[in-house]
Structure 1
Amino acid sequence: MPMSYKARRRWSIILLLVWLPIYTIIAWVVLVSIPRQHIAIEFLMYAVAGILWALPFKNVFKGVGKPDPDG
């Protein structure tokens, strides 16, 4: 069963306020523990880490910024 618009909005706020800071700390610890690489490789690693956090939650964020379709 798909989530309602209100549920997606609530979950998106929770994800942004709770999960994103936790993920940021985890990604930072992991990426800092890797030895220094060429600047382009480091940029790529941080870019991938910046995208990966949202992929599992793509459906939660879909359409949240638009007006309520049910209302």
Structure 2
Amino acid sequence: MALSYKTRKKLALLILVVGMPAYVVAAVTLLNWLGARFGRLPILAELAVYIGLGFLWALPFRGIFRGIGQPDPDAPQDIDPK
């Protein structure tokens, strides 16, 4: 089932406004918990984990975000009668 452009745009906005902050909080909480339980990672390893998690969150949603910045392909085209 393919989603319409408007549905994908609304879903992308919901993911960015609600999902991304929740993911950031979950990632930081997880790393803080692991740091308290097993000891803190070296700073470069911690940075690598944050960068990896930063890319990881977008992988399942790349189909939703693809083409969102383009004009609506379902919108009627204006034909210039020149």
TM-score, normalising length: structure 1: 0.91
Equivalent AA in structure 2 for residue 17 of structure 1: V
* Structure 1 residue 36: Cα displacement: 1.5
In the alignment, residue 22 of structure 2 is paired with which amino acid?
I
Segments ≥4 residues shifted beyond 4 Å: none
Q: Distance in 2 between matches of 1:31 and 1:16?
A: 22
2:28 is equivalent to residue 24 of structure 1 = no
2:32 partner SS: helix
CA drift at 1:37: 1.5
Could you say which residue in structure 2 is the equivalent of 1:67? 71
Show the counterpart of 1:43.
Answer: 47
* In structure 1, C-alpha distance between the alignment counterparts of 2:21 and 2:41, rounded to whole Å: 25
Q: Mind listing any 5+ residue stretches in structure 2 that lack a counterpart?
A: 76-82
Identity %: 41
**Whole-angstrom CA distance in 2 between matches of 1:26 and 1:20:** 10
Q: Which has the larger radius of gyration?
A: 2
Q: Deviations over 1:39-68 (max 9, x none)?
A: 221111000111111111111101001111
Whole-angstrom distance in 2 between the partners of 1:67 and 1:31: 39
The number of residues matched between the two structures is 71
Q: What RMSD over aligned residues (CA atoms) do the two structures have, in Å?
A: 1.0
Helix, strand or coil at the partner of 1:20: helix
TM-score, normalised by the number of residues in structure 2: 0.80
